[in-house]
A and B are shown apart, each in its own frame.
Chain A
Amino acid sequence: MKCSEFLTELTSYLDGVLDEPTKVELENHLSWCHNCYVVCDTTKKTIEIYRDSQLYELPEDLRSRLRSAIMSKCQQHKKRGPESV
């Protein structure tokens, strides 16, 4: 496997959806190609950092305010009929 081929398969590899023969080939490539190993490892870390970051969590007070607003607008919509959205 060449470095460019590794890159093509990287997303499927990280998602765990690569077929077994390709996965073996890719891991063999990673075992001797340090650059691709680093790219693979740091891309995986990138995903994990974002996934675990709790960036843009909705605070509970804002959450209940939004929910009340949504539900009361839904009520108004119901009273006015389907043309109001």
Chain B
Amino acid sequence: METIQNKTEGPVSDELTLVRAAKQGDDSAFEELVRRYDRNVFRIAQHITQNREDAEDVVQEAFLKAYGNLAKFQEQSKFYTWLVRIAVNEALMKLRRKKPERTVSLDEEIKTEDDSLPREIADWSPNPEQQYNQAELREILSKTIQGLPPGFRTVFVLRDVEGLSTEETAAALELSVPAVKSRLLRARLQLRERLGRFFQKRESGDGDQ
């Protein structure tokens, strides 16, 4: 079985050049950084907040914060990792404001040891996503990931959707590498199990049950 290949980001070699120019007051350099990462920040924000307007706000606030604090950026990590950290914090703040009754934290304790152990093993159809049209599929994926705790879906989105490394994800979320790995496993297994309801192989002659 082949392993997963990460989606590669655009060229990062001149990222530092742009950052340094922006620090010197070159706004077109900063605008180029916005162009480069706005889509990523929007995706991350909408995955966390599950709300499009909130995601739009997060994009604006995150870039504005990055702009205002550029002088404090130490250049010890990639600008993108630093930006993601700002965006994740903004997105979690939005979520906390909306759902004050629920604790929204990246550090939430894992309740039980076997909460993600596979219970449902049934195989999926060969091309499960083709059973649905694009709109239906998006609805399924969106609803499914919404059911995960924010701390789990954030790790999943950064690692598996945005293609950050485990170390970058840990840095962006201020979590330890083992914590990222543990959350990632649980997120992947929980999503797999939930998607199984939609993608399971149907026995021939069994109808749609």
Contact = CB atoms under 8 A, between A and B. Distances in A.
A binds B: yes
Interface of A: 7, 10-16, 27, 30, 35, 38-51, 53, 55-58, 62-63, 66-67, 69-71, 73-75, 77-78, 82, 84-85
Nearest to B55: A56
A49 B27 contact: no
Given A15-B4, A43-B192, A55 B138 contact: yes
B84 interface: no
Contacts of B192: 39, 42-43, 46
Given A41-B1, A51-B161, 18 more contacts: A11-B185, A30-B1, A35-B118, A38-B123, A41-B124, A42-B124, A42-B192, A47-B160, A49-B128, A50-B145, A56-B42, A62-B56, A71-B30, A73-B60, A74-B27, A78-B25, A78-B27, A85-B67
Nearest to B122: A38
A70 B34 contact: yes
A58 B39 contact: yes
A50 B191 contact: yes
A46 B59 contact: no
A74 B30 CA distance: 10
B100 interface: no
Nearest to A53: B141
A63 B3 CA distance: 33
The 7 closest A-B pairs by CB, nearest first: A85-B68, A16-B3, A56-B46, A58-B42, A46-B192, A11-B185, A70-B63
B209 interface: no
B38 A49 contact: no
A70 B43 contact: no
Nearest to B180: A11
Interface of B: 1, 3-5, 7, 25, 27, 30-31, 34-35, 38-39, 42-43, 46-47, 52, 55-56, 59-60, 63-65, 67-69, 71, 117-118, 121-124, 128-129, 137-138, 141-142, 145, 156, 160-161, 163, 166, 181, 184-185, 188-189, 191-192, 195-196, 199
Interface of A is mostly: helix
A51 B63 CA distance: 24
A57 B118 contact: no
Given A46-B188, A56-B47, A51 B123 contact: no
Given A55-B138, A73-B60, A85-B64, A11 B188 contact: yes
A23 B23 CA distance: 46
A63 B38 contact: yes
